[in-house]
Structure 1
Amino acid sequence: MPQFQNQDVIELALGASRLLVAPQAGGRLLSWTLGGAPIIHWPAAPDWSKPGLIRGGNPLLFPFIARQWVDGQVGRWRDAEGVVRDIPLHGFARDLPFAAQIAPQGDGVRMTLTDSASTRELYPFGFRFEAAYRLADETMLDVELTTTNTGDARMPYYAGHHFYFALPHAQRGEATIALPRNVHRRQLPDGTTAGAAPGETHYRFDDAQIIDRFHCLDGEPDVPVRIEMPSQQRAIEIDLCRPGSVSWYAVTTWSLAPDSDFYCVEPWLGLPDAIHTGLGLRWLEPGESEKAALRIRVSALPSG
């Protein structure tokens, strides 16, 4: 396998498009470059001893997203029988090794995580969680998450993405994001989820209001999510209406700090703490499987 930052990686290339993936590090998409320019951000000197905490690429969020709370304690969840268990931030998938299979055409990869004794201590279900990336052409990336209940009990879950899009912090004031119809929510410091408020469909990335905001989709998206970066003469569209896909629940916007050279735009199937609030909570019957798909497309903005 090729080496990147002293790690084994899978490299997919099509024309000017290049994708790096590290299955052993949580099935992580590390970077996507187009003509050498970063679309997905990856840091130059990450701490590979804690891959789940690296600020870059696309961490896979499963079985639950973000923070769950029980009786004021973060990192815990209560099942239908009242049993309380620990659960890491964003679930455990981003910290575990996935098996990987490269497509025969060399344009894609499918990575798979299955349950084990250690996962069943946190999440007592049999599952198969798959993430697939495919370069549809050099400007389009197809992404699928497929979740299967391989056990004999009804299984709750809500998975998602955490895309770190490359955006120099000095360009936030001119870069914009357009969203489908939505209402917005956020998680409060005590773990409760704020009530829904009418959401706008256009924001600038220097708007502090959108940090850690859940833009909950109001029905099926009628337009893609669109990011415009005038200084880079680039637009990025995220199509959330793909054939055979379940409905995405929300798109979350977040960045670490005002001087971070990335901004995260995160399609989610549910909201944090949905296991308790029901906001996006999904259930799979034994043997049932469902796919959540999206397409990311990069295009040039008109000059001038």
Structure 2
Amino acid sequence: MNKYKSGFVAIIGRPNVGKSTLLNRIIGQKIAIMSDKPQTTRNKVQGVLTTDEGQVVFMDTPGIHKPKHKLGDFMMKVATNTLREVDLILFVIDATESFGSGEQFIVERLEQTKTPVFLVINKIDKIHPEQLLAVIDKYRTRLDFKEIIPVSAIEGNNVNTLLTQVFDYMPEGPQYYPADQVTDHPERFIVSELVREKVLHVTREEIPHSIAVVIEQMKERNNENVYIAATIIVERSSQKGIIIGKQGSLLKEIGKRARKDIESLLGSKVFLELYVKVQKDWRNRPLHLKDFGFKEDDY
């Protein structure tokens, strides 16, 4: 009889290479927010995959980049600390992007770890198969990758092959989480992330990095509907105006889109109230970062 395997896997890479899309594809449902804007993921999002063979806990880390403010410092600490805690690292790259200083920055950090590293070449649906060989050639000399696996996270191509290889590298171990649990994050965290995702989807360029979402209240009512009050934190009054929109139209749209995903997550009707609050320069203030859930002492 095969021994039960379990372990921890870090998904790392530059911002916007499709790490969250890959995590959601692996887990089979949405637990990490997705946006075409860089630095969408700020905390470690842990996804749990349980099969007959074993259990793997995947950690989707913030995109590794040179930090520009205290929030950036926090995101980098989360990403690099994760590398010390895992049994395997998936270095995800975008097949359509050339090797640049961002990739070099990550490779230099991977050179310092003894953890096995897979190169996962994502977005292969966007290139010709012949171009793939050139990408592989470019990377294979940069680091001693244990495996090089091309995938399309959005289409699902080759993801099962990747998972087979991941399980091959997992040690024997216990089941850490119940079989039906797909994330270690509380529902409030995922709800706040779903609201933040919708803000990213509907607002202009100047908004994304300067918002946080705080769940003020989340409670089940007698009729089994869930009431949620959430505050969207921005840094400037002008951003507050943008998020609210003309006669509240944008805020309404954010609420409508977020409610749909939250209902899907919770499996019940949701009444969602959104507020917008200005907190000047919050990304550089440790106290605000702590209030909004970015606690360095957790890592």
Superposition TM-score, scaled by structure 1 size? 0.27
- Name the structure with the higher helix share: 2
Q: Hey, which of these two has a bigger chunk of strand by percent? A: 1
